[in-house]
Amino acid sequence: MAVVNPVERRPPSKWSAQVTSQAASAPAFEPQRQIDMLRVMLLIRRFEERTFQEYTKPGQKIGGFCHLYSGQEAIAVGAAAIFQKSRDKLINGYRCHGHSLALGMPPRTAMAELFGKATGCSHGKGGSMHLFDVKDGNYGGHGIVGAQIPLAVGMAFAQKYQKTGGVTFCFMGDGAVNQGSFAEALNLASLQKVPAVFIVENNGVAMGTQVERHSADPELAKRACGFVMPHRAIDGNDVEVVIAELSRAADRARAGDGPSFIVCNTFRFRGHSMSDAMKYRTKEQVERAKLHDPITIYSARLIDRGVMTAEQIEAMNQEIHDQIDQATAQADADPHPDLNDRFTDIYSETYPYFP
């Protein structure tokens, strides 16, 4: 089980790099789908950059904890590419902006939630760490590390119980593998043979603690051995590698062969959260990782394949810039929640005598 580490490369231009093909076994997507995947990766990157600006600039519009996804886009976009909205479900930790956008949440709805506005996906009651879009199968970002993993087992249990043929994709960071909930949930998932795919986005650092300092064995995929679960570590920065591996895992789940455990090795370009000065890694490490940027890798590949030209990618990037500008302006102009709405959405039922 090879652990694929980011490889040093020097891109000749902004949108291309000398990329070795690691996606030989990837499914052949139509050119338009390849373009769409690059578009969503760019959308996430531009959204997160804008989020960073809105958080840090004077008159800060975003409060609380906020965790950016920049650098990890290939994982969410790869999962979304094989996600069947009619029956599949996704659940996540708190670094959840990217997955929400990848599953189709409009940037305005996501940004409005970050602003705490009434038009946000959770009407301003969730915030950055808790983006939900249930109609599209997005069962949320979850703020407590590892808390979502047992929920994923239950969601997959329901899919099996109701024979929907659906799969639950459960995302977590590398820090989550040291929570008790992780071990408990993976054990029960295997015992119940539920159709789940557990995906660790291993960006190498749990907040500020490097994987070598937080896990006795930094080859995290091996954690699944004790649960007799198929497992693999892959290059999480190559969207087609992600698609290939998650497809195999999803096929196993749909066939009734139970859960899988996939470690996607990646790198986050921003800090853990907004207050993080990233003293735990050098500028050189970050610069080196940027040579293995998932967006650069994929744009270079599309240029190599003749699917897009660099000019077309630049034009698409500009278009997304404008789209994010517009979404942010709309979210900014959107209304704040009515103060009385703080009392709604607590219970589904009404009870006699309840205030």
Q: Which one of residues 44, 155, 250, 327 is an interface residue with other proteins (CB under 8 A)?
A: 155
Query: For residues 87 and 321, which CB has a smaller minimum distance to other proteins in the complex?
Result: 87
Query: For residues 142 and 301, which CB has a smaller minimum distance to other proteins in the complex?
Result: 142
Query: What is the DSSP track for 56-114?
Result: HSTT----S-----TT-HHHHHHHHHH--TTT-EEEE-S--HHHHHHTT--HHHHHHHH
> 187-215 burial string, b = 16+ CB within 10 Å, else e?
ebbbebebbbbbbbbbbbbbeeeebeebb
Q: Interacting stretch for other proteins, rule CB under 8 A, among 41-49, 179-187, 265-273, 314-322?
A: 179-187
Q: Does residue 338 touch other proteins according to CB under 8 A? A: no
Task: Return the number of other C-beta atoms located less than 10 Å from residue 157's C-beta.
Answer: 18
Q: Which one of residues 80, 153, 167, 244 is an interface residue with other proteins (CB under 8 A)?
A: 153
- Residue 198 dihedral angles phi and psi, to the nearest 5°: -95, 125
Return d(Cα 185, Cα 191) in angstroms, integer. Answer: 10
Q: Which one of residues 15, 69, 94, 157 is an interface residue with other proteins (CB under 8 A)?
A: 157
Binding mask 40-69 for other proteins (x = CB under 8 A): ------------------------------
Distance of CA 168 to the CA centre of its chain: 14
Query: For residues 142 and 272, which CB has a smaller minimum distance to other proteins in the complex?
Result: 142
Q: Cα–Cα distances in Å, from 268 out to 73, 207, 286?
A: 9, 11, 9
Helices 107-114 & 31-56 angle (0-180, nearest 10)? 20
Q: Interacting stretch for other proteins, rule CB under 8 A, among 92-100, 157-165, 203-211, 225-233?
A: 157-165
Q: Does residue 228 touch other proteins according to CB under 8 A? A: no
Q: Does residue 125 touch other proteins according to CB under 8 A? A: yes
CB 174 within 8 A of CB 214: yes
CB 172 within 8 A of CB 94: no
Query: For residues 5 and 162, which CB has a smaller minimum distance to other proteins in the complex?
Result: 162
Shortest Cβ 157–other proteins spacing (Å): 5
Shortest Cβ 228–other proteins spacing (Å): 14
Shortest Cβ 146–other proteins spacing (Å): 9
CB 7 within 8 A of CB 284: no
Q: Interacting stretch for other proteins, rule CB under 8 A, among 97-105, 130-138, 222-230, 280-288?
A: 130-138
Q: Which one of residues 7, 39, 178, 187 is an interface residue with other proteins (CB under 8 A)?
A: 187
Q: Which one of residues 32, 58, 279, 347 is an interface residue with other proteins (CB under 8 A)?
A: 347
- Residue 16 dihedral angles phi and psi, to the nearest 5°: -135, 155
Shortest Cβ 154–other proteins spacing (Å): 2
Q: Does residue 161 touch other proteins according to CB under 8 A? A: yes
Task: Return the number of other C-beta atoms located less than 10 Å from residue 225's C-beta.
Answer: 11
Q: Does residue 84 touch other proteins according to CB under 8 A? A: no
Query: What is the DSSP track for 169-205?
Result: EEEEEGGGGGSHHHHHHHHHHHHHT-SEEEEEEE-SE
- The residue count for binding other proteins (CB under 8 A) is 51
Query: For residues 94 and 269, which CB has a smaller minimum distance to other proteins in the complex?
Result: 94
Q: Interacting stretch for other proteins, rule CB under 8 A, among 134-142, 210-218, 232-240, 270-278?
A: 134-142
- Residue 12 dihedral angles phi and psi, to the nearest 5°: -70, -25
Q: Which positions touch other proteins (CB under 8 A)?
A: 89, 91, 120-126, 130, 132-135, 139-140, 142-144, 147, 149-159, 161-162, 180-181, 184-185, 187-188, 191-192, 344-349, 351-354
